[in-house]
Amino acid sequence: MPFTRIALRGGKPAEYRKALTDSIQRSLVATFNVPKDDIFMLITEHDASNFVYDNQYLNVQRTDDLVMIQITVSNTRTLEQKKALYKRMVDELAESPGLRREDVLINLVEVLKENWSFGNGIAQYAV
């Protein structure tokens, strides 16, 4: 069950934001074996003073179209799956909504399975 946070500069249309979430979900389904209907995402839009980044860290040339994606998942994926996710996500986002590959920052946060509750105060994944 991924929980995804997407941060970007404000002003993009609803269609753009929908293309972001659709592309990210397709990537998770394809590489992390996430069920299609297992989707929990938040989008936050920021003005320039609240969207701070280095436009050339590690020699990656970023623009104000930068999208920061943080995905919290259970710690059950291999290194190969993670690399496949990063590549697939950049490919999907380049296609729709048309993001430059340099403008996609992905951060994966792994947690233990018992750190999830999907409702009713129950740790559904705890064994």
In a domain? residue 126: no
Task: Render pLDDT for 48-90 as a digit per residue (tens, 0 to 9).
Answer: 999 999 999 999 999 999 999 999 999 999 999 999 999 999 9
In a domain? residue 123: no
Task: Render pLDDT for 14-48 as a digit per residue (tens, 0 to 9).
Answer: 999 999 999 999 999 999 999 999 999 999 999 99
CA distance 25 to 19: 10
Residue 127 in this model has a pLDDT that exceeds 80: no
Q: How much is the average pLDDT of 99-118?
A: 96
In a domain? residue 124: no
- State the CATH number of the domain containing residue 44: 3.30.429.10
CA distance 22 to 37: 11
- For 65-119, the DSSP string reads T-EEEEEEEES---HHHHHHHHHHHHHHHHHTT---GGGEEEEEEEE-GGG---S
Q: Tell me which residue of 66, 71, 54 sits closest to 105, measured CA to CA.
A: 66
- The domain in which residue 47 lies consists of 3-115
**Rounded to the nearest 5°, which phi and psi values hold at 114?**
-75, -5
| pLDDT bucket at 1, cuts 50 / 70 / 90 | confident
In a domain? residue 84: yes
Give pTM, 2 decimals: 0.94
Overall domain count for the chain: 1
Give me the pLDDT at residue 36, please: 94
Clarify whether 2 is annotated catalytic: yes
Residue 7 in this model has a pLDDT that exceeds 80: yes
- Catalytic-role residue among 2, 13, 35, 97: 2
In a domain? residue 122: no
